[in-house]
Amino acid sequence: MNQHYYDTLFSAAREKGLTISAAADEAAMAFLDGKPMGQGKKRWSGRDRHTALWSSEFLKALPADVWSQEPLRLALTQYLAQDRVACPELVARVAAIAPDVLMWATRHSDLVMRQDSPRWLEISKLDADQHEALAELTRVFLIFREAHQVRLDEVARLRNPLRELAPLDLLIYASLFAFEHQIPNLLDGRSRPNLPDVQEAWDAIDDILAWKLASCDESDLQLSETSLASSLRQHLIPFLFPSADRPRHDCYQAFLTLLGAQVELNAFVHRSADAFSYDDSIRFERCGDHLEIVEVDADAIAAWRRDGKKFDLLHQYWLYRGMDALLNAPDLLARVSPANLEANLQALAKAMGTWLRLQEVYGMAEQVRTDTGSSAMVFHVLMTIELMTAFFIEDYLRPYQQSLSETGNSFLALGRLAFSGLLQPDLQNRFPLTWSDRTAKVERIKPWTATAKQPSGSSPAAETILDFMTCDWAAMAKQLRAGEMALRPRWQERPIFKMGRLSLQLPWMMAVQNNSAAVINNLRRLGSRRNETKEETRRIEERLGALFRKRGFQVLVGYEVAEDANAGEIDLICARDGHVLILELKSTYQRRSIKEAWAHRTSTLRKAGLQLSRKVPVVQRALGQDMELMNALGLKNGQPTVIAWIVDTSTEWDHQLFRGFLKISLEEVLIALRDERMLLNQPHGLFAGHADRAHPPDDYEKPYKDDTLYPDGFSAARLVEVIETAAVWEGSL
């Protein structure tokens, strides 16, 4: 391996006439982009790249202003975020000439949560008399460390009373908590003090279950009817029905106490430590032995909140699109059972909306491969999940709400719900959590796989759907014990839990979760390494290109300029009315935290800006020299107006600039091209609450006539104005 790789890059850049600053950028950007990768047995590891970069001679002579540039700051951040390669003299040099850079990198490397790291020891050993700012940072870190340790110790202490319980037992107590506290809040639309919100509680339960899976006996994950019945008799039945056995209030209270402590720990990590590390809109100031948060960028805070609101508005947009598509699918409508018609129609509309989203935004094909190697029809998966949700709402939540209003006691209401199921001729399971073996589950799903050729459905198709939705807890326990935490499924993403011969579901979770986000992240986060992802990316380009063509653009997909191989492939070039749009597309998953969003900004979006900075000049030169390209784009003589955008499947960092290029969401472009801004504004209140109607009103088409982004007709110039002024979101945010 060439240990002087980055020195060679730097020297070559200088020989081409680049400044020291630009040459250092070239080397740092190569490192950030994972170069060199190597080939075969000579492949470079992350450790190899760190060793090569931090031993480079050119770093020793860099002035402070060069260290302040983003590429080197991010490279230094990556150095501080790893523990395998040490270069303490580097830290000392940066501290001497650019202490602000070292403080920035320290903050953004998450060292505040890894204070046992050798990298933090390198910083904390610096002479405090010479580095007062770093000395103050050390005092801040100490406050974080002590506060974190107090919360860790509390969680560890409160786990002790629950160590003998099995994962199933904890699921039972989580279900009791959900029905006693969360479901009543959701049903009456009120929030009660001293209770975590739904997502905070779910994340905490997820963490408690992960701890239990990593520490339980393997036999606890091989459920049988006998072991299930034993757990129910001890931990659930006494809460629901009068019996000789007393309810285990000690276990339930221990679970609630641990849950509260876990919520507090998570809140500290996400709202304090992650905010300190990744939220540049705030600053933490030390006041004696505690810290206070000071807002330093109100615009950035407002932008972050707007991006979150967009997520909700887009969910509504696809619901409306789904209803529209459902009304134009008579074959599908004909299969809807008249029982619970309204709920089933809404479930199918949600499934259809998510299916459209997966196709148009994420490039999904009709089938997707599961972990077992089988192929599942994506729409059937979506329909199954949404119909399950509709079933749990109608057959669990609504009867429970009625009983709760009559009894005023959550456990009595749960007992009534369970007893009503036992009174059914076929003994329906109406317990707070459900279970079945694989054969029974497949039979329940089978009718939802019906097609024209197989009107009764297909058992193999039902099995693949089940595989897609199932998380094998024995396999996940093995993964957790091995310390492989990165891509473990969140329980909403794969909401059927396999434990030996039996599979479990949580009606209270399935009834209220965002199924669209769960399925998208099942595919895009957990399935990011699937073989199909390259094909999906190409389909995104082709489908967006087709939408531009419908608007009269000439479109090139995956264009490469032969004279400049370094520019790489240009995802989309769209031309009309003397305007040329160059689009760099990025497809990822839906993020949930500032930490994930910051990583996206400094990796994928930073790289996208860099790519456009290389591609745009190449295209501009080609437009002046290549008549074949001009003809393909329908351009006449004269220099066209060239505009380049980063188009991303996420809404984070919308309408911000990366290397001078605007970043926008793919869905914003879709809505602008389809002229459907009105669907973001609760048209007719169609999806307010649980939807008051199963069919749209008589003036269903009216919004298309009244609210348009193009009152004077569509043009490329107006599209550019719509995008650059965020007109799609006008009146919605």
The domain locations on the chain are: 5-126, 163-281, 301-524, 533-729
Residues of the chain with pLDDT under 50: 683-704
Which DSSP string do the residues of 574-638 spell out, in sequence order? EEETTEEEEEEEE------SHHHHHHHIIIIIHHHHHHHHHHHHHHHHHHHH-HHHHHHTT--SS
Tokens in use for 571? 């995802």
Tell me, what's the pLDDT at 689?
Answer: 38
Using DSSP's 3-state secondary structure scheme, residue 454 falls into: coil
Tell me, what's the pLDDT at 275?
Answer: 95
Tell me, what's the pLDDT at 190?
Answer: 65
Tell me, what's the pLDDT at 519?
Answer: 84
Tell me, what's the pLDDT at 565?
Answer: 61
Buried b (16+ CB within 10 A) or exposed e, 198-237: bebbbbbbbbbbbbbbbebeeebbebeeebbeebbebbbb
Tokens in use for 411? 């456990």
Tokens in use for 699? 């003036």
d(CA 371, CA 531): 12
CB 577 within 8 A of CB 716: yes
Q: Which of 343, 447, 428 is nearest to 394 (CA)?
A: 343
CB 470 within 8 A of CB 538: no
d(CA 342, CA 346): 6
d(CA 491, CA 445): 20
Please tell me the pTM assigned to this model: 0.89
Tell me, what's the pLDDT at 293?
Answer: 93
Q: Give the Å distances, CA to CA, from 525 to 406, 517, 530, 585.
A: 43, 11, 10, 17
- Write the burial class of residue 132 (CB in 10 Å: 0-12 exposed, 13-18 middle, 19+ buried): exposed
Q: Which helix (H) or strand (E) holds 124?
A: helix 118-124
CATH class of the domain defined by 533-729: alpha beta
Tokens in use for 111? 């060292």
- Location of structure tokens 């409160």: 158
